[in-house]
Structures are given as structure tokens and as C-alpha cells.
């Protein structure tokens, strides 16, 4: 604890003296951010900056559990597109299906879940179709034959996973 400001001494002079003495004793020599710019100095002010920073450091989610699970399901659908093997597709979808089924049994707080487990067999079949289409396109050199040259745009495969 620091000493109290003596009467008759201006606060600015007293504070400056305290800082100068602490610097001379080396109190500021080994601070973790010494010599580095302040983080987020140019960012707009946010009243909850410390809460958001703490949540980021702790790995907590900003979303309610039901929305976080929806996001995870979307990420799983995108991961299936990048999967290299059928086994990997099954692992990804099985993992997210377990979480969805648990959430259906005991609904999490927040907005409604509105999710159903993925049909793994159907997803694997579509994954195979996508792989076969890529292989045929690569064999053609990317050129499709016949027709007017304009094909109707196909919906992305992850949109086809969910029944409409």
C-alpha cells in the first residue's frame, strides 16, 4: 500500500514523485506488455470489452446453446464437403448427430433448436455423388459437352442434406 499524500503537497507533484521512485526501484522493469502497443487502441469503445476478452480467453461461447449447436451443424455440413474419405464423413456426422439427439431429448435454453439429426447414409451417398462429379469434371478437363453451355445452377450439397 502506498503512503498517504502529505498535506500541503499538490496531488500531481506527489503522484509524479511516487512514479519516479517506483521507476528508480525497477518496479516497472518486467511488466508483461512493456514496449508493446496497447491492444485494440484504435478499436471503437465497447462497454463489455473485458467480458468479451474473458470469454475469449476461457473459450466460452457468445451464443445460446441452441444457436451454438445450429452453427456446429452448419460447420459439420461444410466439413463433410472437405472430407477425404467416407469414414471421415461418417465420423463428422455421427459426432454432431449425438449432440443434436441429446439436445432433442433435453432442449437447451434459448431459441428453439429446429434441427433434426443428419441422415448419415444419404449424406454419404451425396458425398459419393459429389466426388464422382468432381472426378468426371477433372477427366473432361472442366469442359462439359453438348447443350447450350449454360446449366441450371445446382444448390450446394449442404443445402440438399436438409429436407425441405
Give the pLDDT confidence of 19-58 residue by residue, as tens digits.
888 889 988 888 888 888 887 788 888 898 888 889 888 9
Mean pLDDT over 97-113 rounds to 90
Instruction: Kindly list the distances between the CA atom of residue 110 and the CA atoms of 50, 66, 67, in Å, as whole numbers in the listed order.
Output: 24, 6, 8
- Rounded to an integer, the average pLDDT of 139-161 is 54
pLDDT (0 to 100) of residue 147: 43
Integer Cα distance of 104 and 122 in angstroms:
21
- Please state, in angstroms and rounded to a whole number, the distance separating the CA atoms of residues 160 and 85: 19
Q: What's the pLDDT at 89?
A: 93
Return the H-helix or E-strand segment holding 140: helix 120-140
Quick one: pLDDT at residue 11? 67
- Residues with Cβ within 8 Å of 93's Cβ and at least 6 positions away in sequence, in order, are 76, 80, 118, 120, 123
Reading the block at residue 88, the C-alpha cell is 471421415
Q: Which of 10-14, 94-98, 130-134 has the highest mean pLDDT?
A: 94-98
**pLDDT tens for each residue of 109-126:** 888 888 999 999 999 999
Which pLDDT score, from 0 to 100, does residue 145 have?
A: 42
Identify the pLDDT of residue 157. Answer: 64
Amino acid at each position: 500500500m502506498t503512503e498517504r499524500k502529505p498535506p500541503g503537497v499538490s496531488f500531481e507533484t506527489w503522484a509524479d514523485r511516487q512514479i519516479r521512485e517506483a521507476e528508480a526501484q525497477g518496479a516497472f522493469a518486467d511488466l508483461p506488455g512493456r514496449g508493446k502497443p496497447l491492444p485494440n487502441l484504435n478499436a471503437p469503445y465497447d462497454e463489455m470489452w473485458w467480458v468479451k476478452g474473458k470469454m475469449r480467453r476461457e473459450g466460452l461461447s457468445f451464443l445460446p446453446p441452441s444457436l451454438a449447436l445450429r452453427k456446429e451443424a452448419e460447420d459439420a455440413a461444410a466439413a463433410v464437403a472437405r472430407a477425404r474419405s467416407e469414414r471421415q464423413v461418417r465420423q463428422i456426422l455421427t459426432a454432431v448427430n449425438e449432440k443434436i439427439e441429446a439436445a432433442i431429448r433435453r432442449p437447451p435454453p434459448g431459441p428453439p433448436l429446429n434441427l433434426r439429426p443428419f441422415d448419415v447414409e444419404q449424406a454419404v451417398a451425396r458425398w459419393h455423388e459429389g466426388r464422382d462429379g468432381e472426378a468426371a469434371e477433372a477427366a473432361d478437363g472442366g469442359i462439359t459437352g453438348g447443350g447450350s453451355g449454360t446449366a441450371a445452377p445446382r444448390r450446394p450439397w449442404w443445402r440438399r442434406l436438409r429436407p425441405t
